[in-house]
């Protein structure tokens, strides 16, 4: 599961990092609390090269008649992505990268209170994604989902799932620029890539967006 994330890299730096041509309608940054159904940064390949574009986070299969025409598909499980009718065509033909600075997961204490954790690395992360153009309204728009897999040893301390992280040397393979074999990338990141710390429950509100959201707190 990956239900919230942060992105703090400026748009021009993002475009440079991924060697992608930036669109004119990219979401504002920084955003320390990116929520489902909002616009997110997406890197996709194509005949004219890589593009950094804006997409709705929440994959909409072509048969949805409305944006709420079925379950909210913000994640796609790596184990079944090639079989699910909603995802299988996108998995083969429309893979993308979703840049993040870090992401959040939650645990529950003995009283059932949900506490958020911020997970990050030494550098921005490129999460595996898939995308779909949805034509259920007058103006078609693009939508995306984050690919997830079973947690590695580090992440398993707080959650049993994690997003698939694509390493720099594999970006081209995931985007379809280097032939076949992208399926081999849908696995957990090395245990030593990610770190995490507990953060304030303010991030639970989708109205909160400031840098204080990723600051560590004393769990005691």
Which whole number is the average pLDDT over 111-139?
94
What's the pLDDT score for residue 136?
Answer: 84
Residue 3 scores a pLDDT above 70: yes
Residue 143 scores a pLDDT above 90: yes
- Give percent of the chain with pLDDT exceeding 90: 90
Homologous superfamily of the 5-214 domain (CATH): SOS response associated peptidase-like (3.90.1680.10)
Q: Locate the domains of the chain by residue range.
A: 5-214
Catalytic residues: 2, 105
What's the pLDDT score for residue 175?
Answer: 98
3-state SS string over the chain? Answer: CCCCEEECCCHHHHHHHCCCEECCCCCCCCEEEECCCCEEEEEECCCCCCEEEEEEECECCCCCCCCCCCCCECEEECCCCCCCCCCHHHHHHCEEEEEEEEEEEEEECCCCCEEEEEEEEEEEEEEEEEEEEECCCCCCEEEEEEEEEECCCCHHHCCCEEECECCHHHHHHHCCCCCCCHHHHCCCCCCCCCEEEEECHHHHCCCCCCHHHHCECCCC
- Give percent of the chain with pLDDT exceeding 70: 99
Residue 220 scores a pLDDT above 70: no
Residue 47 scores a pLDDT above 90: no
């Amino acid at each position: 599961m990956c239900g919230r994330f942060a992105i703090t890299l400026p748009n021009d730096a993002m475009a440079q990092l991924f060697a992608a041509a930036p669109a004119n309608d990219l979401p504002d940054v920084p955003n320390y609390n990116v929520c489902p159904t909002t616009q997110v940064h997406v890197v996709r390949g194509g005949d004219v090269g890589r593009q950094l574009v804006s997409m709705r986070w929440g994959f909409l299969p072509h048969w949805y008649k409305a944006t709420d025409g079925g379950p909210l598909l913000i994640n796609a499980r790596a184990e079944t992505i090639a079989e699910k009718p909603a995802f299988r065509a996108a998995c083969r033909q429309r893979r993308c990268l979703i840049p993040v600075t870090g992401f959040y997961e939650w645990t529950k204490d003995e009283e059932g209170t949900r506490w958020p954790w911020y997970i990050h690395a030494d550098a921005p992360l490129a999460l595996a994604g898939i995308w779909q153009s949805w034509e259920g309204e007058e103006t078609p728009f693009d939508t995306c989902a984050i690919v997830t897999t079973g947690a590695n040893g580090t992440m398993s301390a707080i959650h049993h799932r994690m997003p698939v992280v694509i390493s720099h040397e594999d970006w081209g393979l995931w985007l379809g620029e280097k032939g076949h074999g992208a399926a081999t990338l849908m696995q957990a990141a090395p245990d030593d890539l990610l770190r995490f710390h507990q953060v304030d429950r303010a991030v639970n509100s989708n109205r909160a967006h400031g840098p204080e959201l990723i600051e560590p707190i004393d769990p005691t």
